[in-house]
Amino acid sequence: MLTSTVQRPKSPLAQELDRIVRVMALVTIAVGVAFFLVSLMVGIPATDGFLFAVGVTVALVPEGLLPTVTLSLAMGAQRMARKQALVRHLEAVETLGSTTFICTDKTGTLTRNEMSVVEAWTPSGSIALEGVGYSPSGRSVGSAEAKAAAFTMAQFARACSTGRAIEADGVWSAAGDPMEAAIDAFYHRCRIGGADDPEVRDRYPFDSIRRRESVEFNGWLVTKGAPESVLPLCPDSADAFNITEAMAARGLRVLAVGRRPIDEVSATATALEAEDNLELVGLIALHDPPRAEVADALAQCRSAGIRVAMLTGDHPATARAIAERVGLLGPEGLVILGSELPEDEVELGTMLDHDGVVLSRVNPEDKMRIARALQRRGHVVAMTGDGVNDGPALREADIGIAMGRSGTDVAREAADLVLLDDNFATIIAAVEQGRATFTNIRRFLTYHLTDNVAELTPFLIWALSGGKFPLAIGVLQVLCLDIATDLLPALALGAEPATDGVLERPLTGRHMIDGSLVRRVFGVLGPVEALMEMSAFLVGLWVAGWRPGEAFPSGHALMAASGAAFAAVVLGQAANALACRSATHPPWQLSWRSNPLLIGAIAVQILLLVGLLWIGPVARLLGHAPPPLSALALAMATMPALLLVDALHKRIRASRRR
């Protein structure tokens, strides 16, 4: 019920697109109104001026934005799936790339979730267990009395568990909870004789408040749970507290088992009433080896500016040991119990806003509060979870990440991303792809706005001249540029793969349209493309016999000059697409095979240019004609000119950063 009532926060991508749409809408409307007023001032009839202004306004609309965003997200989702990360909502692709704080659980994410019982302590003595995986074959080392007591404890712990170790094609694996499957293997490894397996009758199921569960088994009420939950109920457990601390400090997960004669329990007793005055049976220590690849993944997080916290239900000493082993524990060495978390969300956020914080014995309600507190501090929060009770926290976070192997259906349904291999390193691979998606959308915006500068320049010159300087390209040509020649390269840029170092450029506080993008568009790429366009137009007029101070030609001469300007813009689009592949490297330093879609799109773009210029009816409809050779040569020079200026700009920026 709680999961369904939690509203997903608006994704960073949705917020950024809202911002872009508002800005673009204001700019295009303002430009349209300005050109309408200018057209009236130069004597154009109001109806024609209105249509002219509408055409200019429509030409400025980034009609390729939504298709490019969708394609980029879909390509990102496909690439994530290849890396064992299944995206359930497309927006999650970019949200993951914007993540600044990851709240990860321990078991199965930082560790391999391949548990095995390695030690058992009872009041009669301790034994060590040896074995591989969940196989029942293995041996126990200890005194005969300790082995007998450990087997009794194994029977009781197994009765409280539903998970089992099963064999399929000669391989033993966990069916159900891996911890309970490990207890089943523990039972078989220390089994003495042909012990019976009576049916469990009554059950008090586990919950996150009690942190234990109980069953009626073989004349006993048997309780299994966290040591700090079970040991206080056992009057004879003084030594067990110290032993628990020693086991946990070695990174072992510890369970306590207690019992009570069933005839002492009232038939109407609640769980809290029944689980009282227990006799301590012993402690079970389980080992879950850390994943080898986690240390490198955490190092990548730090270079990417992402903070990581571990949220686990385990003992604080166990959590600390694992965090130290994988390199997660931060320099502050913060290990905090869930019961110690402050109620005030501002204070909670201040406490947790550090890298490498470890939180132990947390419950699902704590996870929700933690997500909200970090969001209030401006973080984009990713939260992992696998249990039924994790559903609300997965929805509360900006991106919920569920475990595909060990997770429940409820957790997977509430999540935005499902890890098919339950591996923390997969999260980092998905973050990398998410950042690549963010960069691809910026590439599209750079590409589109640069072309808009070239498309708008002839209208700006016409307006500033009071209509005396002829339009280098008309409204129909601009619409053709946007719909026919501009769209395919724009879409192909959305498929650009992640580049090296994308994780080393934190995105905190950045927008898709920022100062860097604006300077590149309006200070470098746009002016070069516009300059080459107008130069080709003027050369076309010059070849037709026009000289400064004379009246501008009309008819075929003006159409041929317009064709040169049109060709310059299309070829500028092609060069611009290549330049936008990277904000730091010229295209000849990038692999030509990494994005074959872009090469194909540019080839189609050039073929379209040939058709639009040399197919007579189409050319006449658009208002241009094939340009003279000298003007065409200058238009063709747009490509090398734009690429060389872009490369020089990138080199200057790189030298300033050194």
- Residue 197: pLDDT over 70: no
pLDDT, tens only, 3-25: 555 556 666 777 777 777 787 77
- Residue 1: pLDDT over 50: no
Residues with catalytic function:
105
| Residue 527 CA: distances (Å) to CA of 105, 651, 653 | 51, 18, 18
Between 35 and 541, the more confident residue is: 541
Picking from 69-78, 549-558, 570-579, which range would have the lowest pLDDT averaged per residue?
A: 69-78
Per-residue pLDDT, averaged over 297-312, amounts to 89
User: Could you tell me what percent of the chain has a pLDDT over 90?
Assistant: 39
* CA–CA separation, 655 and 658 (whole Å): 5
Pick the CATH number of 95-110+292-422 from 3.30.70.60, 3.40.50.1000, 3.20.20.70, 1.20.1090.10: 3.40.50.1000
Per-residue pLDDT, averaged over 615-628, amounts to 93
pLDDT, tens only, 511-565: 777 778 888 988 999 999 999 999 999 999 999 888 887 888 888 999 999 999 9
pLDDT at residue 63, as a whole number: 66
Where in the chain do CATH 3.40.50.1000 domains reside?
Answer: 95-110+292-422
Where in the chain do CATH 1.20.1110.10 domains reside?
Answer: 64-84+430-657
Using pLDDT thresholds of 50, 70 and 90, give the confidence band for residue 629: very high
| Pair 105, 385: CB distance under 8 Å | yes
pTM of the model: 0.79
Where in the chain do CATH 3.40.1110.10 domains reside?
Answer: 116-287
**Tokens matching residue 377:** 């501090």
Beta-strand relationship, 399-403 and 381-385: parallel
* CA–CA separation, 483 and 477 (whole Å): 10
Per-residue pLDDT, averaged over 564-592, amounts to 92
pLDDT, tens only, 165-186: 898 888 888 888 889 999 999 9
- Residue 198: pLDDT over 50: yes
- Residue 508: pLDDT over 60: no
pLDDT at residue 278, as a whole number: 93
- pLDDT, averaged across the chain: 86
pLDDT, tens only, 252-269: 999 999 999 998 888 888
Half-sphere exposure of 46 (CA within 13 A, CB side): 0
- Residue 506: pLDDT over 70: no
116-287: CATH architecture: 3-Layer(aba) Sandwich (3.40)
Question: Is the CATH code 1.20.1110.10 the one for domain 64-84+430-657?
Answer: yes
| Residue 438 CA: distances (Å) to CA of 23, 72, 210, 413, 432 | 19, 9, 44, 25, 10
Using pLDDT thresholds of 50, 70 and 90, give the confidence band for residue 234: very high
